[in-house]
Amino acid sequence: MRILITGAAGFLGSHLCDRLLAEGHQVVGMDNFITGKPENLAHLANNQNFTFIRHDVSAYIFVPGKLDAVLHFASPASPNPASPFGYTNLPIQTMKAGALGTHNTLGVALANQARYLLASTSEIYGDPLEHPQREDYWGHVNPIGPRSVYDEAKRFAEALTMAYHRFHNVNTAIVRIFNTYGPRMHIDDGRVVPNFIHQALQGQPLTIYGDGKQTRSFCYVDDLIDGIVKLLLSKEHEPVNIGNDTETSMNEFAEIINRLTGNTAGVTYLPDRRGEGDPQRRQPDTARARAVLGWQPQVALEDGLQRTIAYFKQAGA
């Protein structure tokens, strides 16, 4: 296939490029480098099956030649207000990527009669009142809170994607991505995995907000990409959760990071961020992915973290 990937220079987008190229597809990457990094694609410079277009998806998109699939992954994704890559510091760009970017990429898919895959997020569930979160749960979201620019952009993007599916018969898919980690994450993007690893490699105590009992479910990037590719090649149109369904508390996670890095500085506790909409629990129900895609995560948490720590060490963290 010939495939357009927006957000191609990002953490997930660049791994998707690698996977699809390795499987023999032609890939057109698109990014404006607001949060994506050119070095994530540097190794593809001489790949004859890869072309790159520097472009903002919120503006009209034209890609010459026939496309068989469009994967819309362009968006800031970090919730941390201290990060320059966080969506609270890029609020308008985030909403435009979710709204205008989705509209423009759906138009490309419609014009090409191509398969369309939207990168959505577990954030559409907000601070959930149901655990684990199933795809038929409608969520518990503050529409005007500091996280709303991302949450509502993705909720709108899902609604628009389904509208194009129902009204224009576009062959669409929606992946709801849960916490994912691995090489090529920004070390200073403010999310817990790079944050903890960076602090640990510097010999600093790991910062935990609240009592550390809040949980996340961490999926290694290779597992996530495998699920996304399986969804792309399937006939599924309904949203599908992709993530690891094993919950880990922040206290447990900090202990693992400190042990794997040999950091003896321990942890430090700061006031919790529940007032900002930071969810207390986040865990996917992956029954649909297992049933429809035959997918389940393969990489154990400590194995994935060792690979990620090695990457950050090499990157000079």
| Number of CB atoms found within 10 A of residue 238's CB | 13
- Provide the pairing of β-strand 206-209 with 267-270: parallel
Report the alpha-carbon distance of residue 150 to residue 158 in Å, rounded: 12
Phi, psi (rounded to 5 degrees) for 26: -95, 135
Specify whether the CB–CB gap between 80 and 94 falls below 8 A.
no
Specify whether the CB–CB gap between 226 and 175 falls below 8 A.
no
281: left (phi over 0), alpha (psi -120 to 50) or beta: beta
Catalytic residue among 87, 150, 181, 220: 150
What Å distances lie between residue 138 and 104, 123, 286, CA to CA? 26, 11, 16
Catalytic residue list contains 311: no
Neighbour-count burial of 291, counting CB atoms closer than 10 A to its CB (0-12 exposed, 13-18 middle, 19+ buried): exposed
What Å distances lie between residue 55 and 43, 112, 266, CA to CA? 20, 19, 44
Non-local (6+) Cβ contacts of 303 within 8 A are 220
Specify whether the CB–CB gap between 105 and 8 falls below 8 A.
no
Specify whether the CB–CB gap between 38 and 61 falls below 8 A.
no
Instruction: Please list the active-site residues.
Output: 150
